[in-house]
């Protein structure tokens, strides 16, 4: 057995020796003499038949051969790098190289390698994207992985080519870095999308447009384009509005609470709407059409967390009279909140909306759509009576808040629009527009020429023209400078003075319309004719400019206002006839001043203004005796 085993081993060894030796009858040939490859590069296997050893080489650096040498017949691989230039230039559409395989007998064979240069290439991993009609703002986006060798712009159109706005590039998208010549590079782009409030699916197309270094579209010829993808985005339809108005109201409240991330979680739909907290319904006996009975009259959304505007379902609350959104988490840090168009649907000449509060929401000067103020030359909210925009981040008061756009508005509040408290404006780290941008507080009103050129400092002079206001609240902002004098008020308004013979002035208190009669305020009705006439003459001699005749609530406290508020008194505290210095009787002798609680809500300022002046008023009487010396028949406000 041992002899046979040794003979087998010997036979294998002999066979191996003869197999390693080249065969004289094997021809030196290759299985191909060409290799065509795309711009991205690639590889190809080449079968080499040779009776002996051979060596492979390439005449260009972008081609390599592995292995670079061999003995006898075997397979080698040609590897081609990606192209580095674009078609259409001096390099032309292709580049070529040669792989030469030389045998030991000096024979050689060539393989011609032809590579396409790059055309314009913009490819996207996913060319079809589906998004829902709604999700929270933080999740309202999708990402696309784009590979491109050219800078590009992005256009958003519908299926008919019309521009659309419900998709947009994220503001912080990276810039494509073409650091490898004309080789395509990768970039991941984020796209934001808006809520679909319509009960039908909508489709958008994302078009990538090649541009040059200056952003000008290139419009390359077809033969210079390798591939430019488009992306189709399909968004599902929104839930349809229930046909029953009461059901629509209920669905709207629940959906809005969900969209705003109300801390309480919203309302329990297993209980009747009549029992929902912060919701009131129209009832029998209310002054409303029968069609409103059982529908939502008042609703309050309190303590929530959103970077979004008011959800589209608000447009379903067509019977609402009082609507309140209050206390968005970290509202002073919010930026770029767009209120949205949907609330505009509650307007119109037949609107029931009378009271609107959007407070502590995080709104700023760019939050309101144009349609919030007017549409087709008509006020959007002609029946609105009360508007509270306090505790937001406004840098100024939009001039479109005026009696033309809000003809029935009698209460306007913009208290506390400070993003943060800066006690000393003079030593603040920023100033001017930069300070306003960082700190809000209506600070740009201090640079408004309509105010500064007419003696108002930062006080918004245009509000003195709004005769229908009974409430104006501007406390806790960064208004600075002095208030206008009587002479400046007259020049600005061209107004007349209050007279003892003035007709009664109506005003609203707790929903009840009352009247103010000057004659009854300055003397008792049962006084003698002589006493009455003396009181009338004394009042008329004051020459008090007639401003904001219905104003029952007025607050300016905790701003940075300063300067005199002299009512023009003598040393005994009595009014002087025809005083020579500046007076502020429009304020200090206003017939409704006693309702303002001025020591708290007018005179009480704080901090230092931007000029380093202490924020306080001077020449303010210690008490109201001077005032009640004129309005002898007045009573303190209840």
Q: Are strands 563-564 and 617-618 parallel, antiparallel or unpaired?
A: parallel
Number of residues that make up the chain: 638
The phi and psi torsions of 509 (rounded to 5 degrees) equal -135, 120
Q: What pLDDT is stored for residue 637 in this prediction? A: 41
- CA 37: distance to chain centroid? 50
- Distance between CA atoms of 253 and 420, rounded to whole angstroms? 32
What end-to-end distance do the CA atoms of the chain give, in Å?
128
Long-range contact pairs involving 524-529 (C-beta distance under 8 Å, separation at least 24)? 524/632, 524/633
| Pair 458, 481: CB distance under 8 Å | yes
Name every residue whose Cβ is closer than 8 Å to that of residue 150 and which is 6 or more positions away in sequence. Answer: 120, 121, 122, 178, 210, 211, 218
Q: Which tokens hold the place of 428?
A: 């603040």
52-94 tens-digit pLDDT: 899 999 999 999 999 999 998 899 999 999 887 777 666 678 8
- Distance between CA atoms of 115 and 254, rounded to whole angstroms? 62
- Distance between CA atoms of 190 and 194, rounded to whole angstroms? 14
| Pair 407, 382: CB distance under 8 Å | yes
- Distance between CA atoms of 253 and 262, rounded to whole angstroms? 11
Instruction: Note the CATH number of domain 120-235.
Output: 2.60.40.10
Where do the H-state alpha helices sit in 190-267?
A: 245-260
Residues of the chain with pLDDT under 50: 1-23, 636-638
| Pair 83, 118: CB distance under 8 Å | yes
Q: What pLDDT is stored for residue 45 in this prediction? A: 95
Q: What pLDDT is stored for residue 269 in this prediction? A: 85
Q: Which tokens hold the place of 416?
A: 């506390």
Q: Which tokens hold the place of 561?
A: 């206002």
Q: How many CB atoms lie within 10 A of CB 92?
A: 11
E-only strand ranges, 305-361: 322-328, 355-359
Best CA proximity match to 79, nearest among 54, 43, 105: 43
Beta bridge partners of 225: 120
| Pair 504, 467: CB distance under 8 Å | no
In which residue are the tokens 């705003």 written?
Answer: 260
Q: Which residues of 352-365 are buried (b: 16+ CB within 10 A; e: fewer)?
A: bbbbbbbbbbbbbb
CA distances from 496 to 62, 370, 493, 506, 543 (A): 91, 35, 9, 18, 9
* DSSP letters spanning 476-530: SS--EEPPPPHHHHHHHH---B--TTPPPEEEEETTEEEEE-HHHHHS-TTS-HH
Fold match between domain 26-116 and domain 120-235: yes
Q: What pLDDT is stored for residue 90 in this prediction? A: 65
CA distances from 419 to 334, 395, 437, 459 (A): 9, 10, 9, 19
Question: H/E element holding 451?
Answer: helix 449-452
Q: Which tokens hold the place of 545?
A: 């400019």
Q: How many CB atoms lie within 10 A of CB 1?
A: 5
- Distance between CA atoms of 367 and 365, rounded to whole angstroms? 6
Q: Which tokens hold the place of 574?
A: 């009595």
- CA 312: distance to chain centroid? 16
Sequence ranges of the domains in the chain? 26-116, 120-235, 245-393, 480-628
How would you class 569 by CB atoms within 10 Å of its CB: exposed for 0-12, middle for 13-18, buried for 19 or more? middle
CA distances from 233 to 129, 139, 162 (A): 5, 16, 15
Q: Are strands 563-564 and 560-561 parallel, antiparallel or unpaired?
A: unpaired
200-221 tens-digit pLDDT: 899 999 999 999 888 899 888 8
Q: What pLDDT is stored for residue 24 in this prediction? A: 54
Q: SS3 for 84?
A: coil
Q: Which tokens hold the place of 235?
A: 């968004």
Q: Which tokens hold the place of 73?
A: 């017949």
In CATH, the architecture of 245-393 is Alpha-Beta Horseshoe (3.80)
- Distance between CA atoms of 201 and 84, rounded to whole angstroms? 43
Best CA proximity match to 402, nearest among 425, 373, 427, 424: 373
- Distance between CA atoms of 558 and 560, rounded to whole angstroms? 7
Overall fold of domain 26-116: Immunoglobulin-like (2.60.40)
Q: What pLDDT is stored for residue 16 in this prediction? A: 40
In which residue are the tokens 């206008």 written?
Answer: 484
Q: What pLDDT is stored for residue 235 in this prediction? A: 97
Q: What pLDDT is stored for residue 636 in this prediction? A: 46
Q: What pLDDT is stored for residue 612 in this prediction? A: 95
Q: What pLDDT is stored for residue 181 in this prediction? A: 73
Sign of CA dihedral 377, 380, 382, 384: negative
| Pair 552, 510: CB distance under 8 Å | no
Best CA proximity match to 299, nearest among 249, 258, 342: 249
Q: Which tokens hold the place of 483?
A: 């208030």
């Amino acid at each position: 057995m041992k002899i046979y085993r040794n003979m087998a081993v010997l036979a294998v060894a002999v066979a191996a020796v003869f197999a390693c030796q080249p065969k004289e009858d094997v021809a030196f040939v290759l299985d191909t003499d060409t290799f065509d490859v795309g711009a991205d590069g690639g590889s190809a296997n080449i079968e080499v038949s040779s009776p002996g050893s051979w060596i492979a080489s390439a005449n260009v650096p972008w081609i390599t051969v592995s292995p670079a040498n061999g003995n006898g017949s075997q397979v080698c691989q040609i590897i081609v790098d990606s192209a580095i230039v674009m078609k259409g230039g001096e390099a032309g559409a292709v580049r070529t190289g040669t792989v030469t395989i030389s045998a030991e007998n000096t024979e050689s064979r060539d393989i011609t390698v032809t590579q396409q240069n790059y055309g314009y290439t913009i490819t996207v991993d996913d060319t079809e994207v589906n998004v829902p009609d709604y999700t929270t703002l933080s999740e309202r986006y999708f990402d696309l992985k784009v590979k491109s060798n050219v800078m590009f712009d992005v256009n958003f159109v519908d299926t008919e080519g019309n521009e659309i706005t419900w998709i947009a590039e994220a503001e912080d998208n990276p810039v494509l870095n073409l650091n490898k010549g004309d080789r395509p590079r990768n970039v991941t782009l984020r796209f934001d999308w808006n809520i679909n409030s319509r009960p039908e699916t909508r489709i958008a197309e994302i078009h990538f447009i090649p541009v040059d270094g200056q952003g000008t579209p290139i419009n390359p010829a077809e033969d210079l384009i390798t591939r430019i993808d488009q992306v189709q985005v399909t968004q599902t339809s929104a839930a349809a509005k229930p046909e029953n108005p009461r059901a629509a109201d209920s669905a709207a409240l629940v959906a809005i609470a969900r969209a705003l991330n109300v801390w309480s979680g919203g309302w329990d739909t297993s209980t009747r709407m009549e029992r929902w907290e912060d919701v009131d319904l129209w009832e029998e006996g209310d002054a409303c059409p029968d069609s409103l009975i059982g529908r939502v009259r008042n609703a309050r959304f309190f303590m929530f967390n959103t970077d979004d505007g008011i959800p589209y379902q608000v447009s379903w609350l067509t019977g609402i009279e009082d609507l309140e959104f209050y206390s968005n988490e970290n509202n002073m840090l919010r930026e770029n909140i767009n209120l949205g168009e949907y609330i505009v649907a509650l307007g119109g000449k037949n609107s029931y909306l009378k009271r609107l509060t959007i407070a502590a929401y995080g709104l700023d000067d760019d939050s309101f759509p144009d349609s919030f103020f007017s549409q087709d030359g008509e006020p959007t909210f002609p029946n609105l009576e009360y508007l509270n925009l306090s505790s937001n981040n406004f840098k100024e008061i939009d001039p479109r808040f005026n009696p033309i756009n809000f003809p029935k508005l009698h209460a306007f509040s913009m208290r506390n629009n400070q993003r943060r408290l800066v006690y000393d404006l003079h030593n603040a780290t920023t100033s001017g527009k930069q300070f306003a941008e960082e700190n809000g507080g209506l600070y740009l009103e201090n640079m408004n020429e309509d105010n500064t050129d007419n003696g108002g400092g930062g006080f918004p002079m245009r509000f003195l023209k709004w005769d229908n206001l009974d409430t104006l609240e501007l406390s806790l902002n960064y208004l600075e400078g002095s208030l206008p004098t009587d002479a400046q008020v007259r020049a600005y308004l061209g107004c007349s003075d209050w007279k003892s013979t003035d007709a009664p002035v109506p005003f609203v208190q707790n929903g009840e319309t009352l009247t103010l009669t000057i004659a009854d305020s300055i003397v008792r009705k049962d006084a003698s004719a002589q006493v009455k006439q003396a009181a009338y003459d004394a009042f008329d001699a004051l020459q008090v400019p007639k401003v904001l005749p219905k104003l029952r609530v007025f607050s300016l406290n905790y701003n940075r206002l300063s300067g005199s508020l002299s009512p023009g008194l003598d040393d005994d505290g009595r009014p002087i006839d025809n005083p020579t210095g500046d007076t502020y009787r429009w304020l200090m002798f206003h017939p409704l001043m006693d309702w303002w609680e001025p020591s708290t809500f007018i005179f009480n300022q704080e901090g230092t203004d931007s000029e380093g002046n202490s924020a306080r008023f001077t020449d303010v009487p210690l008490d109201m005796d001077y005032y009640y010396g004129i309005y002898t028949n007045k009573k303190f406000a209840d």
